[in-house]
C-alpha cells in the first residue's frame, strides 16, 4: 500500500541553525501539507501546496519557513533559523484530487531545538 | 471560539465493548468535512473515517462508525468491539468549505481523546 515517508525520524539542532525536513508524498497525489504538533498540544496546520505553489498558509508559517518540491517526488520544509519553540513533531501529508479528501500522513519528524 | 471540541481528555473501555468518543464542531459554512485520526504511542497519524456535510448516511469503516448529528454539530466516533490495539490518541478534525483547486483543504484539529482499552 502506498504511503507517505519522512526523513529524518528525529532531528536535533541548535537554536539558530537551519533545518530541512524531507517528505515523499504518495506518488499520484497532488496536494501536500505540513502540520506540526507541539508535545501534548493539538495538531496545527502550517502550509498547503498545490501545483508547485503555496495555496494556503497559517500565521505560524512566517518568513522563517519555506517549502519546496525540488524534483517532483520530494516535498521539503525548511526552517531558516530555528527557535526553541520550533521543537515539535512535524507531519507531512498528501491527498488526491478527487477522493474523499482524506489526507494521508507520514510518520513524522521529531524536531528538537536545543 | 474553538472550531473542534473534544471534551473527553481520557477514556477507558473494557476490551470487546463499544466506546463513543465525542466531537462537536463549529462552522457557518454549509459545506465541510469531518475526519477522525488515530495516533498510537509510536506517533504516526492514521486516517480512520470521513463524513461529508452533505452525506445522507453516517460513515462506517469496519469497526469504526461516525454518529453524525448535523443539527447538533456533533460527529462522534463509535468504536465497536474494542481491542487492545485501539489504545491511542484519537483526533477529530474538520475541513471547512468545499475543496476547490488548492484551497480550503487545511484540517482544523481538536485536542484529542486518549483511549485506554483494558483487558
Give the residue with greater pLDDT, B116 vs A96: B116
Give the residue with greater pLDDT, B104 vs A8: A8
**What pLDDT was estimated at residue A1?**
75
CA dist B49 and B64 (Å) reads: 7
**What pLDDT was estimated at residue B104?**
57
N-term to C-term CA, chain A: 37
Q: Has residue B38 got a pLDDT over 90?
A: yes
Average pLDDT over residues A43-65: 93
Percent over 90 (pLDDT), chain B: 77
Lowest mean pLDDT among A32-36, A52-56, A105-109: A52-56
For every residue of B28-96, DSSP letters joined together read --S-EEEEEEEE-TT---EEEEEEETT-SS--EETTEEEEEETTTTEEEEEE-S--GGG-EEEEEEEEE
Give the residue with greater pLDDT, B73 vs B31: B73
Q: Has residue B1 got a pLDDT over 70?
A: no
How many residues are given for chain B?
119
CA dist B77 and B37 (Å) reads: 10
Percent over 90 (pLDDT), chain A: 73
**What pLDDT was estimated at residue A43?**
94
How close A80 comes to chain B (CA, Å)? 23
> Which residue among A41, A45, A108 places its CB closest to the CB of B43?
A108
**What pLDDT was estimated at residue B105?**
79
> Which residue among B46, B91, B105 places its CB closest to the CB of A31?
B105
CA dist A88 and A108 (Å) reads: 10
Sort strands B113-118 and B10-14 into parallel, antiparallel or unpaired: parallel
**What pLDDT was estimated at residue A12?**
97
**What pLDDT was estimated at residue B96?**
86
How close B103 comes to chain A (CA, Å)? 6
CB B48 within 8 A of CB B77: yes
Amino acid at each position: 500500500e502506498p504511503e507517505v515517508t519522512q526523513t529524518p525520524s528525529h532531528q536535533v539542532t541548535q537554536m539558530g541553525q537551519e533545518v530541512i525536513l524531507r517528505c515523499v508524498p504518495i506518488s499520484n497525489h497532488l496536494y501536500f501539507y505540513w502540520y506540526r504538533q507541539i508535545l501534548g498540544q493539538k495538531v496545527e496546520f502550517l502550509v498547503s501546496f498545490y501545483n508547485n505553489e503555496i495555496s494556503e498558509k497559517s500565521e505560524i508559517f512566517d518568513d522563517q519557513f519555506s517549502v519546496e518540491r525540488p524534483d517532483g517526488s520530494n516535498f521539503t520544509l525548511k526552517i531558516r533559523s530555528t527557535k526553541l519553540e520550533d521543537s515539535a513533531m512535524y507531519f507531512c501529508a498528501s491527498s488526491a484530487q478527487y477522493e474523499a479528501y482524506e489526507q494521508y500522513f507520514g510518520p513524522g519528524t521529531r524536531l528538537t531545538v536545543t | 471560539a474553538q472550531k473542534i471540541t473534544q471534551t473527553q481528555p481520557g477514556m477507558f473501555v473494557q476490551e470487546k465493548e463499544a466506546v463513543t468518543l465525542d466531537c462537536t464542531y463549529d462552522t457557518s459554512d454549509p459545506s465541510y468535512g469531518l475526519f477522525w485520526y488515530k495516533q498510537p504511542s509510536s506517533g504516526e497519524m492514521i486516517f480512520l473515517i470521513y463524513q461529508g456535510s452533505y452525506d445522507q448516511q453516517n460513515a462506517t469503516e469496519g469497526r469504526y462508525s461516525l454518529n453524525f448529528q448535523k443539527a447538533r454539530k456533533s460527529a462522534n466516533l463509535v468504536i465497536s468491539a474494542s481491542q487492545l490495539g485501539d489504545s491511542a490518541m484519537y483526533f477529530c478534525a474538520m475541513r471547512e468549505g468545499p475543496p476547490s483547486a488548492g484551497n480550503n483543504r487545511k484540517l482544523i484539529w481538536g485536542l484529542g481523546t486518549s483511549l485506554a482499552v483494558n483487558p
